[in-house]
């Protein structure tokens, strides 16, 4: 996933149904000698649990919690879409504009408190490691860097086959990937993680080798490829960057239908368009184990 020099200003056209990070606050500076517990937080995205079609999907949202021994305060940190999931996955086709218009950014949100009931009753709230105040402060610096340079949300993982060792053409960049990067950063700083099973959700497309098509200007600009531009617009036409998670999944099934029928998918990734020659099983939603990281430094705490 490409890193960018800065986060672009958001276009006023992009409106979120729910305010992004409404109670968010700056990450505090911890005292160096503080001992901070780190919690793994995971819960289902409940909104679509009740559709018969969607009830069996294990779609989870991940976050990380911190508890300071010195102050007793709890904090939650997570990473999610600025304009909800539909906007990160499907573009708007705006009248008078040739190119599909994307409202796609993701970012970290940090706030005081851990909603124990939400994570415990529906999912997971488990201690994974303990860190020092110094390590927490170093992690906070890294979060700032990660946030300023990794700006686009990417729903899809694209790989060659369901085989474990299969080639990954494109990696997703979403809530769980941020948590995994955070754990890895803490491990690199010396955190020692408990040996517990940790699973994450991935939405995977299966494709032969992707074909590079160009960027917005080269396809939709004055010297662009009119046929290709029309094909991309046509592909995205049935999907609306809906606001609710449920509607998003209805669209997801529409896309599967198109993909299986025509064996094709147009992917927008790091501001570039790619053609995916799709192949069976086309799409899978998996919930599988990703182990906690092993650090590269001497250990701290238990």
The rounded distance, in Å, linking the Cα atoms of 100 and 157 is 21
β-strand partners of 131: 36
The rounded distance, in Å, linking the Cα atoms of 193 and 198 is 11
Strand duo 199-207 + 156-159: pairing:
parallel
Query: What residues contact 259, with CB distance under 8 A and at least 6 apart?
Result: 205, 265, 278, 282, 283
- Residue 66: strand, helix, or coil: strand
Catalytic positions, written as ranges:
61, 175
Contact 170, 157 (CB under 8 A): yes
State the greatest distance between any 2 C-alpha atoms of the chain, in Å, as a whole number: 63
**In this structure, what token pair is assigned to residue 263?**
């064996």
**In this structure, what token pair is assigned to residue 149?**
């340079």
**In this structure, what token pair is assigned to residue 121?**
């009753």
The rounded distance, in Å, linking the Cα atoms of 238 and 166 is 31
Packed helices 133-149 and 175-188: angle between N→C axes, nearest 10 degrees: 140
To which residue do tokens 């705006």 refer? 94
Query: What residues contact 55, with CB distance under 8 A and at least 6 apart?
Result: 49
The rounded distance, in Å, linking the Cα atoms of 166 and 160 is 6
Prior bond to 158 cis, omega within 30? Answer: no
The rounded distance, in Å, linking the Cα atoms of 163 and 171 is 15
């Amino acid at each position: 996933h490409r890193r960018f020099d800065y986060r672009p200003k958001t276009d006023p056209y992009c409106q979120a149904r729910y305010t992004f990070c409404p109670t968010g606050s700056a990450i505090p500076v911890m005292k160096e000698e503080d001992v901070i517990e780190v919690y793994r937080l995971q819960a289902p995205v409940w909104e679509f649990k009740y559709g018969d079609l969607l009830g069996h999907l294990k779609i989870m949202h991940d976050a990380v919690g911190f508890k300071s021994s010195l102050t007793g305060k709890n904090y939650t940190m997570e990473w999610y879409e600025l304009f909800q999931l539909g906007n990160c996955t499907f573009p708007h086709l705006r009248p008078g504009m040739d190119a599909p218009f994307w409202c796609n950014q993701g970012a970290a949100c940090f706030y005081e408190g851990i909603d124990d009931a939400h994570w415990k009753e529906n999912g997971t709230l488990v201690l994974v490691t303990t860190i020092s105040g110094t390590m927490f402060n170093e992690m906070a610096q890294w979060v700032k860097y990660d946030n300023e340079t990794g700006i686009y949300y990417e729903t899809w993982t694209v790989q060659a086959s369901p085989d474990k060792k299969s080639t990954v053409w494109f990696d997703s960049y979403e809530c769980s990937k941020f948590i995994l990067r955070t754990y890895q950063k803490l491990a690199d700083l010396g955190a020692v993680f408990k040996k517990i099973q940790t699973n994450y959700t991935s939405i995977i497309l299966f494709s032969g080798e992707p074909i590079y098509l160009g960027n917005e200007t080269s396809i939709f600009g004055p010297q662009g490829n009119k046929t290709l531009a029309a094909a991309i617009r046509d592909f995205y036409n049935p999907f609306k960057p809906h606001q609710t998670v449920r509607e998003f999944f209805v669209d997801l099934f529409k896309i599967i239908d198109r993909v299986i029928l025509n064996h094709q998918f147009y992917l927008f990734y790091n501001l570039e368009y790619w053609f995916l020659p799709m192949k069976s099983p086309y799409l899978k939603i998996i919930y599988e184990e990703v182990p906690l990281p092993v650090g590269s430094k001497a250990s701290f705490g238990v």
